[in-house]
């Protein structure tokens, strides 16, 4: 366990947790995260393209390619937000399959619903407002679960991983796409300048919302690194866990199976 995550785990046991760099009461974090995503929902897609220079589309395509998804399967796109992964999965599972887009935030879900309907994707998608920590689905329901850039925002990540494990079918796989730790020192330095100086400024300019993008940068730094997240997935019960660094470890795709 890294020093950083140990610290997070210790404070969590005192009923406090992190909201970016701030220490807050665990029960406060949910509403603070909700505030961020209510605030960014309308501009979320534009900002994603801007901030990543479109690269988030490649990370998401890679996730779909690693999912092994087949026609007829049932997929949970957890913390699915505005539905990028849902749209890609919907086409792959076809009319006999099903994709559930679940998110805790009504504003993000509404933007997602409108976008997917505009794309003509209506027949095999359902929408559920749910907290990843306590998923409202039966045991062994899904062939594939993805959570993209969502786990970082969850208060009790271990509870969320256990909940995902419970609703995954035996033989199913979980994919966690999330910001992680750059593998090169020089990249870390460039990335720090980008995240803490440029990102909040772009947020202010485009979305008139500096604070949400400051939170984004801070929450990325507080998230467990590659090895720690892999260990957390092992502890939740996942087998054959592994991860693949993308863009020098700025992002990592973790994978695990339920047997």
- Which residues inside 97-116 make contact with ligand SAM, applying CB under 6 A? 103-105, 108
131 is in an annotated binding site: yes
Interaction of residue 47 with ligand SAM, rule CB under 6 A: no
Quick one: how far is CA 186 from the chain centroid? 26
- Which residues inside 27-46 make contact with ligand SAM, applying CB under 6 A? 33, 37
Interaction of residue 218 with ligand SAM, rule CB under 6 A: no
Q: Which of 76, 100, 148, 251 binds ligand SAM (CB under 6 A)?
A: 148
Interaction of residue 143 with ligand SAM, rule CB under 6 A: no
Task: State the Cα–Cα distance between residues 140 and 258, nearest whole angstrom.
Answer: 10
Q: What is the residue-wise DSSP string for 14-58?
A: TTEEEETTEEEEHHHHHHHHHHHHHHHGGGHHHHHHHHHTTHHHH
Task: State the Cα–Cα distance between residues 18 and 29, nearest whole angstrom.
Answer: 8
Interaction of residue 153 with ligand SAM, rule CB under 6 A: yes
Residue 123 CB, shortest distance to ligand SAM, in Å, is 21
C-beta of residue 250 within 8 angstroms of C-beta of residue 188: no
Q: Which of 20, 80, 97, 256 binds ligand SAM (CB under 6 A)?
A: 80
Handedness of CA 111, 47, 145, 6 (dihedral sign): negative
Interaction of residue 149 with ligand SAM, rule CB under 6 A: yes
Size of the site for ligand SAM (CB under 6 A): 19
């Amino acid at each position: 366990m890294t020093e950083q995550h140990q610290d997070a785990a210790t404070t969590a046991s005192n009923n406090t947790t992190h909201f970016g760099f701030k220490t807050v009461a665990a029960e406060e974090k949910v509403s603070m995260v909700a505030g961020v995503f209510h605030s960014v929902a309308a501009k979320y897609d534009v900002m994603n393209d801007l901030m990543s220079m479109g690269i988030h589309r490649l990370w998401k395509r890679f996730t779909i390619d690693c999912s092994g998804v087949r026609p007829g399967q049932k997929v949970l796109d957890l913390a699915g937000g505005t539905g990028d992964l849902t749209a890609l999965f919907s086409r792959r599972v076809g009319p006999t399959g099903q994709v559930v887009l679940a998110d805790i935030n009504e504003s993000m879900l509404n933007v997602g619903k409108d976008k997917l309907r505009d794309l003509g994707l209506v027949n095999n998608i359902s929408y559920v407002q749910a907290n990843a920590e306590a998923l409202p689905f039966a045991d062994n329901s899904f062939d594939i679960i993805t959570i993209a850039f969502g786990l970082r925002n969850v208060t009790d990540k271990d509870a969320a991983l256990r909940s995902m494990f419970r609703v995954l079918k035996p033989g199913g796989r979980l994919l966690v796409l999330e910001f992680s730790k750059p593998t090169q020192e020089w990249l870390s330095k460039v990335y720090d300048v980008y995240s803490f100086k440029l990102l909040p400024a772009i947020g202010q300019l485009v979305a008139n919302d500096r604070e949400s993008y400051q939170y984004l940068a801070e929450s990325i730094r507080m998230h467990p690194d590659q090895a720690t997240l892999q260990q957390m997935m092992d502890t939740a019960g996942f087998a054959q866990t592994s991860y693949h660094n993308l863009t020098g470890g700025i992002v990592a795709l973790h994978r695990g199976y339920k047997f």
